[in-house]
């Protein structure tokens, strides 16, 4: 049995696609079967609300999550005027595009290893009319960065689930495995990004990461080892969710 909000979302997606009313009943029945199999509603409707926008999504990208809105909120508050920033592991583009839409002074470069996901991100970019303020690059962020400009800040919601735990979440089985797998301890991306991308941060630059609810202590350690201070912010459920890493300022004594 469809929940009320599911039926509403489905019907408004039929309307957007120009489907006639006499086809609704059969399509609703088919959608109900898909939902029972565990397929996310967003992949069926092709749309997911995120912050104050709606993003096109399909199976090539992770469905944007409300937890990630917290990272966006922090970035909107912290981004210096006129910033040029990087969004690593951009997927649907939801983080970068929401920042650009809500802060007209920002420009961005977004990176993902998946050319397929960048097609989705470009589609969202065009829908939102933001094409002149963002560039996209296929890039493996686990390797040294090939980009040559510096950033005022670098934001990322990388894969952060432990390889061995992914099967504990059957609801994620419809989403791209590469969007989830953070390596043996779930921390591969944080270590690699801090190591490979800090050389591209401007002198006052910072990293903003979405993190798993149980990863704060590990991220603080990774930051400290690389010469960064680290602040942790919680989401609205009270879980640790956002890490802010800033370069520690070197103190020079009097000569």
Ligand X SMILES: C[S@@+](CC[C@H](N)C(=O)[O-])C[C@H]1O[C@@H](n2cnc3c(N)ncnc32)[C@H](O)[C@@H]1O
Say whether residue 245 binds ligand X (CB under 6 A). Answer: no
Longest CA span, the chain: 83
Number of residues interacting with ligand X: please give it, by CB under 6 A: 22
Tally Cβ neighbours within 10 Å of residue 168.
9
> What backbone phi and psi angles, to 5 degrees, belong to 157?
-115, 85
* Minimum CB–partner distance for residue 169 and ligand X (Å): 13
Rounded Cα gap, residues 155 and 144, in angstroms: 17
Please give the distance of CA 6 from its chain centroid, rounded to a whole number. Answer: 24
> What backbone phi and psi angles, to 5 degrees, belong to 79?
-65, 120
- Our CB check for ligand X shows the closer of 14 and 125 to be 125
* Minimum CB–partner distance for residue 94 and ligand X (Å): 5
- Tell me the per-residue interface mask from 62 to 91 with ligand X, x by CB under 6 A, - otherwise: x-x---x--------------------xxx
- Our CB check for ligand X shows the closer of 152 and 181 to be 181
**Subset of 107-126 contacting ligand X (CB under 6 A):** 112-114, 117
> What backbone phi and psi angles, to 5 degrees, belong to 76?
-60, -35
Q: Look at strands 228-234 and 240-247 and give their pairing.
A: antiparallel
Site for ligand X (CB under 6 A): which residue of 10, 31, 42, 95? 95
- The token duo for 144 is 């040294």
- Our CB check for ligand X shows the closer of 161 and 230 to be 161
* Minimum CB–partner distance for residue 246 and ligand X (Å): 22
* Minimum CB–partner distance for residue 65 and ligand X (Å): 7
- Our CB check for ligand X shows the closer of 45 and 90 to be 90
- Indicate the residue whose CB is closest to ligand X: 91
* Minimum CB–partner distance for residue 113 and ligand X (Å): 4
- The token duo for 252 is 């020079």
Say whether residue 142 binds ligand X (CB under 6 A). Answer: yes
Q: Helix %, strand %, coil % for the chain, to 5?
A: 40, 20, 35
**Subset of 150-179 contacting ligand X (CB under 6 A):** 157-159, 178-179
Alpha helices in 112-204 (DSSP H): 115-128, 188-197
- The token duo for 9 is 């979302």
- Our CB check for ligand X shows the closer of 91 and 205 to be 91
- CA-nearest of 161, 153, 140, 155 to 209 is 155
Q: Are 201 and 244 a contacting pair, CB within 8 Å?
A: no
Say whether residue 45 binds ligand X (CB under 6 A). Answer: no
Say whether residue 186 binds ligand X (CB under 6 A). Answer: no
Q: Which positions touch ligand X (CB under 6 A)? A: 61-62, 64, 68, 89-92, 94-95, 112-114, 117, 140-142, 157-159, 178-179
């Amino acid at each position: 049995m469809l929940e009320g909000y599911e039926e509403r979302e489905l019907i408004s997606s039929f309307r957007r696609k120009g489907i006639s009313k006499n086809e609704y009943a059969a399509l609703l029945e088919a959608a109900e079967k898909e939902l029972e199999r565990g397929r996310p509603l967003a992949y069926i409707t092709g749309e997911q609300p995120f912050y104050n926008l709606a993003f096109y999504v399909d199976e090539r990208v992770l469905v944007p999550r409300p937890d990630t809105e917290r990272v966006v909120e922090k970035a909107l508050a912290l981004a210096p005027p006129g910033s040029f920033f990087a969004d690593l592991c951009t997927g649907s583009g939801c983080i970068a595009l929401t920042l650009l839409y809500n802060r007209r002074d920002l420009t961005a470069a977004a990176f993902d290893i998946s050319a397929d996901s960048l097609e989705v991100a470009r589609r969202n970019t065009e829908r939102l009319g933001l094409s002149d303020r963002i560039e996209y690059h296929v890039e493996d962020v686990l390797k040294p960065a090939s980009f040559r400009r510096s950033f005022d800040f670098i934001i990322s919601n990388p894969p952060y689930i432990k390889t061995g735990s992914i099967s504990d979440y059957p609801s994620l089985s419809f989403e791209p495995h590469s969007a989830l797998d953070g390596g043996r301890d779930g921390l591969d991306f944080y270590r690699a990004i801090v190591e490979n991308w800090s050389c591209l941060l401007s002198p006052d630059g910072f990293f903003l990461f979405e993190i798993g609810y149980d990863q704060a202590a590990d991220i603080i350690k990774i930051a400290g080892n690389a010469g960064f201070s680290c602040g942790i912010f919680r989401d609205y459920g009270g879980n640790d969710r956002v890490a802010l890493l800033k370069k520690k300022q070197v103190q020079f004594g009097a000569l």
